[in-house]
Structure formats: structure tokens, C-alpha cells
């Protein structure tokens, strides 16, 4: 199936690792011109080297998306290097998982800065240009924590819930300008974030991380943990011309672990 992404300019925030890096690889495989952004310059360099070793040229931007001015600079650098941005994938930002007894006001503020505002700043830097040009696609990688409250992810889950609302609202507001906005909610996925969550849960429950991981796997209807590549496949489809009438959707990617219709 031709996804119509050949030659498209794609910016992936959080593209130096995990789901973001998997997205960059998948878009490149479809013939897109890819830029990846990350706050960690060293990790960004490693990711670029790994992609280039696979024959994937990539533009890199070191940026702290908690700062709106840096997000605007990121968009300018990508457009100067590759051209107008056709697709924005927001995979940057991760709120720290914290047991509820350890939560303070600072944790709630930090979660919004780490996840919600990193995404909003990137959107603010890119969406107006898409609207002026009459087209574009934005896919926000959010997380099931925004639909299902879990004890160690309350602050981050609140940020995720806000992002789902923003995604649906922006999709409606900019549909007439040809801009599509969708969100995906991965469940437990084999990334560094998964390990962080297990460690936080271990502190809360006193159980070893290995035991908690085994419990999670047994509880999943599909019997296994999602891979970053599986999330990336869905992101690439939603960004493609084949999903041209999909906008404002919030798609769960948890392998039916949360049987809900809302």
C-alpha cells in the first residue's frame, strides 16, 4: 500500500529513542524526509548515527520544548533544512512516574511542563504554517494514562488527558484549513519509560521489578507487551494520505487491555 509519504517533510519530536525513533525509521522507510528533535544532544547524535548507518539521512535539532521560543527555532531550522513541514509527530516529553504519597504541587506542574506544554509548544510552532499552506497532519503520542488513572501516573495522566482534549479540539478548529490532528494512546510499551514505571510501582508495592513485569505480561489480553515499532506503524498510517478522513481521533493501542468505548 502506497501511503503517499514519499518526499514529505516529517518532524518527530522525542525522535532520539523509543517510540519517536521507531517513528523516524518507519517514515524514512516510506520515503519521507525526516527530522528528529530531542533535548538530549548526545542521545540525538547517537540516534542520527544509527539511522545513517541504516542508510537513512536525518536532520537533527537539539531543543528543550518546555521553552516555546526554542520550539519556534526548531521549526525554523527544520524548514530551512528540509522545507515546509508536512507532518509533525509529537513523541517528546514524559512526566515522571511518582507514587501518590510522594506527589507535591511541584510534581503536578512538572508533569504539565514535561508532557502537555512540550507538545503544545511544538504544535504552536508548526500548525500555523500548515494552516496557511492548506494541509498537514499532526499525530500526538499521548498514553493510556490519560484515560485510565493509575496510582503512580496521576500527574502524567492528567497531562495526557489534557492533550487528548487539545488534540480533538484542534482537529475541529483547523479542519477547514486542511490540517488533521490525531492522538494515539499506547499502553505498556517496551521502552525506557516502561522500566521507569515498573521501578516506581516497585517502590509503591515492594515487589521486585521482574515480578511486576511478569504480572503485566500475564494480564495483557494479547499475552505480550507492545513494541515501539507497532506504535510507529499506526502513527505513520494516521499521518498518511490513506487516513485522509481521520481527524480528531484518539486511538487506544493497548491490545484490548482497557475494554472501553470512550
Cα separation, 72 vs 98, whole angstroms? 31
Cα separation, 202 vs 225, whole angstroms? 18
* 197 has pLDDT over 80: no
Cα separation, 129 vs 145, whole angstroms? 31
Q: How confident is the model at residue 118 (pLDDT cuts 50, 70, 90)?
A: very high
Name the average pLDDT for the chain.
94
Q: What is the pLDDT of residue 193?
A: 74
**SS3 state of residue 180:** strand
Cα separation, 169 vs 7, whole angstroms? 29
> Which superfamily, per CATH, for 9-249?
NAD(P)-binding Rossmann-like Domain (3.40.50.720)
Cβ proximity of 177 and 76 under 8 Å: no
List alpha helices for 151-242, DSSP H: 154-174, 192-205, 209-219, 228-239
Q: How confident is the model at residue 95 (pLDDT cuts 50, 70, 90)?
A: confident
| pTM score, whole prediction | 0.93
Per-residue pLDDT reduced to its tens digit, 202-252: 887 899 988 988 888 888 999 899 999 999 999 999 999 999 999 999 999
Torsion of CA 9, 51, 90, 98, to 10 degrees: -170
**Residues with Cβ within 8 Å of residue 191, at least 6 apart in sequence:** 17, 18, 19, 228
Cα separation, 222 vs 226, whole angstroms? 9
Q: Where are the domains of the chain?
A: 9-249
Q: How confident is the model at residue 35 (pLDDT cuts 50, 70, 90)?
A: very high
Per-residue pLDDT reduced to its tens digit, 155-165: 999 999 999 99
Cβ proximity of 137 and 179 under 8 Å: yes
Per-residue pLDDT reduced to its tens digit, 137-155: 999 999 999 998 989 899 9
Q: What is the pLDDT of residue 169?
A: 98
Amino acid at each position: 500500500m502506497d501511503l503517499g509519504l514519499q518526499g514529505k517533510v516529517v518532524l518527530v519530536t522525542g525522535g532520539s529513542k523509543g517510540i519517536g525513533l521507531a517513528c523516524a525509521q518507519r517514515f524514512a522507510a516510506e520515503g519521507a524526509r525526516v527530522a528528529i528533535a530531542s533535548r538530549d544532544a548526545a542521545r540525538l547524535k547517537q540516534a542520527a548515527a544509527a539511522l545513517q548507518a541504516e542508510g537513512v539521512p536525518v536532520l537533527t535539532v537539539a531543543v528543550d520544548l518546555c521553552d516555546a521560543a526554542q520550539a519556534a527555532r526548531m521549526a525554523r531550522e527544520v524548514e530551512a533544512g528540509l522545507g515546509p513541514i508536512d507532518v509533525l509527530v509529537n513523541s517528546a516529553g514524559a512526566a515522571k512516574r511518582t507514587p501518590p504519597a510522594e506527589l507535591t504541587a511541584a510534581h503536578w506542574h512538572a508533569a504539565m511542563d514535561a508532557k502537555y506544554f512540550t507538545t503544545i509548544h511544538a504544535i504552536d510552532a508548526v500548525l500555523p504554517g500548515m494552516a496557511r499552506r492548506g494541509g498537514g497532519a499532526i499525530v500526538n503520542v499521548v498514553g493510556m494514562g490519560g484515560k485510565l488513572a493509575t496510582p503512580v501516573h496521576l500527574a502524567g495522566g492528567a497531562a495526557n488527558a489534557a492533550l487528548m482534549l487539545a488534540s480533538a479540539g484542534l482537529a475541529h478548529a483547523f479542519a477547514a484549513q486542511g490540517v488533521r490532528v490525531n492522538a494515539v494512546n499506547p499502553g505498556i510499551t517496551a521502552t525506557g519509560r516502561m522500566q521507569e514505571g515498573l521501578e516506581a510501582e516497585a517502590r509503591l508495592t515492594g515487589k521486585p521489578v521482574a515480578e511486576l513485569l511478569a504480572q503485566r505480561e500475564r494480564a495483557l489480553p494479547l499475552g505480550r507487551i507492545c513494541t515501539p515499532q507497532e506504535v510507529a506503524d499506526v502513527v505513520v498510517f494516521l499521518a498518511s494520505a490513506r487516513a485522509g478522513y481521520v481527524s480528531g481521533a484518539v486511538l487506544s493501542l493497548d491490545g484490548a487491555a482497557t475494554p472501553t468505548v470512550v
